[in-house]
Copies of this chain bind each other. A is one copy, B any other.
């Protein structure tokens, strides 16, 4: 059922089998599987995650390639509720390992917030990432184009850049290397450092060898209209014409609530086994939070795997159910 400030009290004494932090594609897939495994779960969604912003899903089997991400999430939420999952809009502030259970503290409501604490045997971290965007004085100017023809995922949207004049927006030298993958889709690449760092001579030479111009000035604004970015203006007034763009400035990982628990990581990615179990035996991680491709299809499969492994754990630790009437007869 849908929980809110008004009805969550009733759930504070329950120990859920699983609390799922994040109601994106991975978290919802896990919820559907868990409930169908006769396990109880609570999905806690803060809203506005990465898939919420997708304008077109493009490459997820079974849905129209123009389905917006938010429609997929809405469908998944309905599905999860249908099979009996609990669902709460809230921000998970802390997960505390109490030994047998986890205590999960949530902030609910932006105004007159309440801070309920829920309990579960397992936690699935499915709270994802959000892409860092260029920081302009007027952020609305960025939001107008990001997710439209100013992309954040080459796998998802590389084809939409095919043979177009494309800006590559980076925040460190390592990210410039993206140009030499992106050129599979288009050779008309201009690189923008936004004045954020110095580019080495070796990288400058490599870009020149490929014919990819480098612009090192800060960005003033994106040009365009009706969500179609058509170029940029730099700090010194230079205008560069573009037809599309890719932002490769890293991501923010939504996993601060795990800070009190030591988990193995590779960079920021959580390390998991082939069933999505982290180095903590009762914490699983899905999708963008773990190593691997950041794709809806991967997150959905991760949800399947984590739910299945948790079911196995719980089932194997349970007493077998007997057909009692037959035993009495015997």
Query: In the complex where A62-B72, A180-B320 touch, is A325 in contact with B211 (Cβ < 8 A)?
Result: yes
Q: List the one stretch of A32-40, A106-114, A239-247 in contact with chain B.
A: A32-40
Give A283-315 interface residues, CB cut-off 8 Å to B.
293, 295, 297-298, 300-305, 308, 311, 315
Q: Name the CB-closest residue of B to A156.
A: B36
The reply to whether A36 and B59 contact each other, CB–CB distance below 8 Å, is: yes
Q: Name the CB-closest residue of B to A65.
A: B79
- A205 to nearest B CB, angstroms? 11
Q: Check A202 for interface membership: any CB of B closer than 8 A.
A: no
The reply to whether B36 and A158 contact each other, CB–CB distance below 8 Å, is: yes
- A69 to nearest B CB, angstroms? 10
Give the bracket for the number of chain A residues in contact with chain B: 35 or more
The reply to whether B297 and A211 contact each other, CB–CB distance below 8 Å, is: no
A241-276 Cβ-contact flags toward B at 8 Å (1 or 0): 000000000000000000000000000000000100
Tell me which of B61, B208, B304, B324 contacts A29 (CB under 8 A): B61
From A36, A65, A75, A187, name the one whose CB has the most chain B CB atoms within 10 angstroms.
A36
Chain multiplicity (copies): 2
Q: Check A330 for interface membership: any CB of B closer than 8 A.
A: yes
The reply to whether A62 and B59 contact each other, CB–CB distance below 8 Å, is: no
Query: In the complex where A29-B297, A36-B158, A211-B330 touch, is A60 in contact with B62 (Cβ < 8 A)?
Result: yes
Chain B residues in 8 Å Cβ range of A75: 61-64
A146 to B327: give the CA distance in the assembly, Å: 30
Q: What are the 7 tightest A-B residue pairs by CB atom distance, in nearest-first order?
A: A211-B323, A301-B301, A211-B326, A187-B321, A29-B61, A211-B327, A297-B304
Known: A29-B61, A62-B72, A210-B322. 13 other contacts (CB 8 A): A36-B58, A37-B184, A38-B158, A38-B184, A61-B300, A61-B303, A62-B63, A183-B321, A183-B322, A187-B323, A212-B323, A293-B304, A301-B301
